[in-house]
Structure 1
């Protein structure tokens, strides 16, 4: 029998504790609305007593996002009256408000952090819960550093706060010290006792990633009876971060028969949520990160590409559409095999190539791939066109494509505080076009000048510039949306000049739109 796992998202509280990841009120509201769209059960909107700004943000989220039946809004409080009051007065505007209290239970916290006896700390926790219950019916109690606590004291605390009225008990692995087998055993023992005390109380876990086991510990907890999981988008959070929501949810989805559980998460919103949080917080997602990394569903190995083209389940355990992506990506590089290149040529309409024709094109592909690293569809068009121009110079249908593509000839960018501007020269259809533009910054000016030449209504979705090759080269990454179709096109380029890398990436993305148009004509 499958059971529901409640998903508690703490991106706006624990996630925002990442240095430099501070959000303003409007950004917090945007993230909260997206979390509601994602389908999380509980949003921890902040730490209201920490500042007036955080209090107001939690209050606005409660008022504007929490006015629905399907999402609970909470904030964090220490086990002191002022903190509990701050949470209550900020979350009370929600349809379903919750007070979340945290207090340490490990010897390290009790003796070294608080300098009190265990009985004193337990009494403080019980009194805090009793007071919170006079304000709201739902109270969560977190036993901070539970994984390093003496079990019998931990259990005594849990039993006492449940009798005081706590409706959710949260077991944090606060410093990421636990490992899956022992954490699973801990949850099993607590669950066994808790259900005998009050089977309506939810058992929750909150795992940190200091040893890289936050997701594994969370999944071990689910196997052993946890009803609720606390996560963040992209696994962000204090120090090494928290259990990643997308990883936990997709593990439960993909291995449903193993976990005998489900969540209410709308998985098709995972990618949108990940990108929004990454963009607003300025925290890049590592390219090889599970589920939301740029390469999570990209395949460049010829062996993998061949297997995928024969049967997707050979190397794919999840359909990328499930998490909100269009499809898997077969990246064409020098490691790509013949099957992948032949598949890409087939999508361009070149399905009737003889073996000698294909081998010559493939040889040219490898030569360019060694030089360029990644080959785009418009590059493949040019390779094929050069072949037909050489062997069939009068076949107009096969030798007139490259004139449609845009090629950067030159650029000049002026960056200053008052009037950033850019000028570009671009070749298309054997003609040289020139354009100049201004913007609020040099990149906006550069892209405005390029867009003026390109015959498309384009919206910039994402732009990144990073250092590669020991800092010598800049890698520009761009995602654009063609307004007439609503589809997103992504590309990248490297160069020692940051502006040139940015311009080339943008033009590569535009050329992907050109390819789409050419394929539609065919």
Structure 2
């Protein structure tokens, strides 16, 4: 029988401890609203004793997100009365408030961090729980650095705080020291004893990723009796981060017989949540990150693309739609094979090409792919046009696809504190179009100028930039998402000139919109060939 596993999301507390990832209270509220859509069971909204701003943010979330009984709101407190009071005051207006107390349990923490005896630390923990219980019925106690603690002392602490009134016990692998087999064994032993003391108390785990095993340790804990998992979106958090919520949830969904457990997470909100966190915190998700990485459902190898097109389960164990994506992404590169190119052409509407015509077009594709990192849909139109022009001895009313697409010719950008401005030259249908604009910054100026040339009223939703190489000639990669008439388009470009890369990414977005417009029409390509 499948057990229900509680999800405790600490993105707004542990996740926000990443340097540079601090959110203001309005951003924290936006994230909390999205976490509610994701249907997490508990949101740890912050550390209210740390600042007035964090206290107010937690309070706001308790009132506006925790106003229904389907979600719990908590915040972190050290085992001192002032911290506990701050948590209580900030979460008390939620329908289901929870006080979360943390105190060290390992010899390292007890002796070196606190400089006290084990008995004294145990007494402090018990008194903290007793005090918290006078304020709220739900209290969680975290035994910090539990994976390095003496087992009998760890159990003695857990037994004492449960008898003092703790309703949830959290066992953290605070520094990511554990490995799955030993951590699973630890949870099994604790669960066995805990359920004999009070089978209503939830046993939770909180794993860090210092050795890259946070998700594996968490899942090992689930297999060995853990009732609740603490995690963050995209695995963000202190140092190397925390166990990633999306990885834990999708592992249980994909391997139900292995884990015999499930969550109530709405998996179709995973990508929306991931993108929101990444955007607001300014933390890019590594491209090969499981579930939420850019390449998680992207395939460029011809062997993989061929297998996927024949049978999705050949290389796909999770449907992209399960996590809120449209579909898998077949990226056309020099490694792509005929099957992937033909499939893309058919999606664009070219369904009646002869074998000879396709081979000629594929030859043009390979030639272009050898000079570009990635071949886009609008590139295929130009390849097709060039092929039929080369094959035609006279004008047969061939469609001039290149007339629809835009090409960056030149740009000039002036960046200053008063009037950042840009001038661009863009070619379309053989004509060079020019425009200039000012903006709030240089990128905004470039995009305003290009938008004026295209006449398309696009809205920039996301803009990301990062280096893909090192040194003075480093390549900068720009990835953007724009919205046009309710549809969203994500494109990217790379160049040593960041402004040029930004402009090229925007031009690619415009050409993606043009591709959709072409796809909707019934256009004659050549004699006997339509799309």
TM-score (norm 1): 0.98
Report how far residue 431 of structure 1 moved: 2.6
TM alignment of 1:301-380, pairs within 5 A = 301-380=301-380
For the pair 1:8 / 2:42, whether they are aligned, the reply is no
- Hey, what does 1:300 align to over in structure 2? 300
Report how far residue 424 of structure 1 moved: 1.3
Report how far residue 183 of structure 1 moved: 0.5
- Hey, what does 1:135 align to over in structure 2? 135
- Hey, what does 1:514 align to over in structure 2? 514
Report how far residue 194 of structure 1 moved: 0.8
**Conservation of the 8 A alpha-carbon contact between 1:389 and 1:399:** no
**Partner SS, residue 470 of structure 1:** coil
| Cα distance per residue 1:347-366 (max 9 Å; x no partner) | 22223323332222212111
Following the alignment from structure 1 to structure 2, what is the Cα–Cα distance between the partners of residues 125 and 423? Answer: 65
Report how far residue 436 of structure 1 moved: 1.6
Report how far residue 25 of structure 1 moved: 1.0
- Hey, what does 1:83 align to over in structure 2? 83
- Hey, what does 1:477 align to over in structure 2? 479
TM alignment of 1:182-201, pairs within 5 A = 182-201=182-201
Report how far residue 437 of structure 1 moved: 1.5
- Hey, what does 1:171 align to over in structure 2? 171
User: Cα RMSD (Å) of the superposition?
Assistant: 1.1
- Hey, what does 2:69 align to over in structure 1? 69
Report how far residue 394 of structure 1 moved: 3.0
For the pair 1:488 / 2:488, whether they are aligned, the reply is yes
**Partner SS, residue 385 of structure 2:** helix
| Cα distance per residue 1:312-331 (max 9 Å; x no partner) | 11000001011111110000
Report how far residue 292 of structure 1 moved: 0.6
Report how far residue 367 of structure 1 moved: 1.2
Deviation >4 Å, runs of 4+:
none
- Hey, what does 2:527 align to over in structure 1? none
Unaligned runs of 5+ in 2: 523-531
**Conservation of the 8 A alpha-carbon contact between 1:388 and 1:395:** no
Following the alignment from structure 1 to structure 2, what is the Cα–Cα distance between the partners of residues 59 and 470? Answer: 44
For the pair 1:498 / 2:498, whether they are aligned, the reply is yes
Report how far residue 55 of structure 1 moved: 1.1
**Conservation of the 8 A alpha-carbon contact between 1:474 and 1:501:** yes
Report how far residue 430 of structure 1 moved: 2.9
| Cα distance per residue 1:28-67 (max 9 Å; x no partner) | 1111111111111101011111111111111111111111
Following the alignment from structure 2 to structure 1, what is the Cα–Cα distance between the partners of residues 458 and 25? Answer: 29
For the pair 1:158 / 2:169, whether they are aligned, the reply is no
Q: How many equivalent pairs are there?
A: 519
**Conservation of the 8 A alpha-carbon contact between 1:388 and 1:399:** no
TM-score (norm 2): 0.96
- Hey, what does 1:291 align to over in structure 2? 291
- Hey, what does 1:24 align to over in structure 2? 24
Report how far residue 343 of structure 1 moved: 1.0
| Cα distance per residue 1:387-446 (max 9 Å; x no partner) | 0111135343x5321110011122111110011111212122333222222111110111
Following the alignment from structure 1 to structure 2, what is the Cα–Cα distance between the partners of residues 21 and 347? Answer: 40
**Partner SS, residue 455 of structure 2:** coil
**Partner SS, residue 479 of structure 1:** strand
**Conservation of the 8 A alpha-carbon contact between 1:98 and 1:138:** yes
Following the alignment from structure 1 to structure 2, what is the Cα–Cα distance between the partners of residues 52 and 455? Answer: 47
